[in-house]
Amino acid sequence: MTTRISTRTTTRIEADQLADLSSGAVLLATGGGGDPYVSYLSARQTLTAMGPVTLLKPEALTDDAYVVAIGGVGAPSVGLELLPSSDEPARALAAFEAHVGRKIDALVSFEVGGGNSMIPLIAGASSGLPVIDGDGMGRALPEAQMMTFPIAGVAPTPALALDYAGNTATFSTDSTATYERHVRAMAQAMGGMILTVEHPMTGAELKRSVVPETISFSIELGRVLRERRGNAEALIAPLRAAFADSIYGELRHLYTGKIADSASQVIGGYDVGRVRIESFDEAQPDLLIDIRNEYLVARLAADSEDEGRVVSSVPDLISLLDLETGAPINSERVRFGQRVAVIAIGCPDFYREPRALAVVAPRCFGFDFDYVPLEALPAP
């Protein structure tokens, strides 16, 4: 523990908490963030061997502390084939410290979602560094400029990427948009998935930009999913209660049905596709969900009387739950015939500010409509 960290606002994450964290993070990931299972196994092995990871509230840092974000960049489907190694995060951190000539005081996830919720913990356990209870999205989003860090003015570089073969590349760019293009191209060139250390910031910058307490909240959500495991529709009430007391707010049950069609392909380093869900009630129109790594827009099928009415959209959260177990489903694991319940959740207030909507509103993804908050949309 360095002198730049107060021990009064710290807790520890033990290996036996990782399953709940992984499950809750998949729910918040809105389909993205990478498949959590392999990262969960790696994190469990690392924490079992190395001991628990210190989890810090943002206010535990002094203003001059040095913090970096760490996680995976690429198409989540590639992560099912290009399996990570548990020593990669520590090697990436060591290479970054050598590159900048400075020691890191703490780590933060750039997105709480899926596998990216585990990577900072693996890095923290391996290197002895604490991890911030918070992240740069409060969910998962596909592009770097969509993080709260750059929206609040934190530069993405100097940054470093490490690939599956141990090769590294460094970045120094004039903007986050440029960094996103370069790091995405590098991910494609290095096999489709890379590990990055990026957005170095001071403790003061972290405190004004981080989405707080998302790691501990993911553990709480995972506990609810585990204790209430079973029919997804029976989970709606306890999940709604958990979200009501959080920074997210409203949870709405959008739809129940089975996957009638699912198609995606890797385009420009993203998993891009669409899911069609058929209701068990033949009178109800199908639900369409557009994907770009994450579930971005849910709308009723255009051949219905609602003419493609949007029922939820980014930056609010959309998640699919397995109907029989209540387990959240990542977008790369959606399959024909799955029976699912679809829920939508309000996003943190940060993402409803004009500066954030300028980079995360539906039009930023090519959709021809403006963002309307979930609570202002009529229910399906």
Give 189-202 pLDDT, tens digit per residue. 887 789 999 999 99
Taking the CA atoms of residue 241, residue 330, residue 144 and residue 38 in that order, the dihedral angle to the nearest 10 degrees is 110
User: How many C-beta neighbours within 10 Å does residue 312 have?
Assistant: 26
**pLDDT at residue 7 in the model:** 53
**pLDDT at residue 301 in the model:** 87
Q: Report the amino acid identity of residue 362.
A: P
> Which residues, given as ranges, of the chain have pLDDT below 50?
1-2, 304-306
* Residue 262 · residue 335 · CB < 8 Å: yes
**pLDDT at residue 38 in the model:** 82
**pLDDT at residue 1 in the model:** 41
**pLDDT at residue 6 in the model:** 58
CA dist 300 → 28, 95, 336 (Å): 23, 48, 19
**pLDDT at residue 2 in the model:** 47
Q: How far apart are CA 336 and CA 273, in angstroms?
A: 14
Q: How far apart are CA 147 and CA 70, in angstroms?
A: 13
